[in-house]
Amino acid sequence: MSLAVNIYYCSSCDYHQSSMSLWGGHEYVLPNGIRLPIRKVMGWCDTCKAVTYIENLSTATRISDYREAQRGLYDKSQSGMLTGIWSQSKHNASITNRNLSSMEDAIDAIEMLTTRQSPPRCLKCGCTQVHVPESSTLLHQDNDSHRTWIKHPDCSGEILWREDDGGLRIAMTIPTQSYTPEGELIARPEESDEDSFDCIKPYDDASESNIKIRELIRAAWAA
């Protein structure tokens, strides 16, 4: 995968940083081993003194994840009924499984959020001294404006973004970092040596391992 490098900079002072510090996936690992994608928003962290990703702990976001997967399932089942070949297609079966898995992820996430104690954390350093743009401003975000709606607390300027001048793109495998349901980091890629490198997993391993764990849970119910 190759990613474009953006520069985040302040409208009022000479602060700037590269988007490369934001790259990477983030997931919660529940006590039963289920891995859930972390929903996040870009914001400012007082400890990192940088633009970072901050946990989004909104249940509304998870409900909308559930509805989206449900719609995906419904759309596919309708088109399957029309063509009559739905059940024979391996590809369609895998889309169905993915949607069902996303719906279960959303429910597990909502359950997790009901017992969550800690306020949202910075996904880089874990601190809770963070600032995120008001969701009402994000609703009116104009994609071309290069605004982030993030205030730079040190000078009251606003963080803006632009593409790297040289059109730089970097090829890399995106690592995923794991967190407890309270948002505490379990493994940091930069702290891992070669031997423990298997704590970093590529993005979509989760759905397959979640399906296996849920099969075991259902088997225990039936026993």
Smallest gap from Cβ 186 to Zn ion, in A, equals 17
Report phi then psi at 56, rounded to 5.
-105, 110
Cβ nearer to Zn ion, comparing 12 with 64: 12
DSSP designation for 103: H
- Using CB under 5 A as the binding rule, whether residue 106 contacts Zn ion is answered as no
Smallest gap from Cβ 9 to Zn ion, in A, equals 9
Within 13 Å, how many C-alpha atoms sit on residue 177's CB side?
A: 21
Residues 9-48 vs Zn ion: string with x where CB under 5 A? Answer: -x-xx-x-----------------------------x-xx
- Using CB under 5 A as the binding rule, whether residue 157 contacts Zn ion is answered as yes
Cβ nearer to Zn ion, comparing 22 with 213: 22
| Residues 6+ away with beta carbon under 8 Å from 75 | none
| Residues 6+ away with beta carbon under 8 Å from 94 | none
Cβ nearer to Zn ion, comparing 122 with 206: 122
Could you give the CA distance from residue 167 to residue 20 in angstroms, rounded to a whole number?
A: 14
Smallest gap from Cβ 217 to Zn ion, in A, equals 35
Cβ nearer to Zn ion, comparing 120 with 181: 120
3-state SS, residue 8: strand
Beta strands in 46-142 (DSSP E): 50-55, 130-131
Task: Give the footprint of Zn ion on this chain (CB under 5 A).
Answer: 10, 12-13, 15, 45, 47-48, 122, 124-125, 152, 155, 157
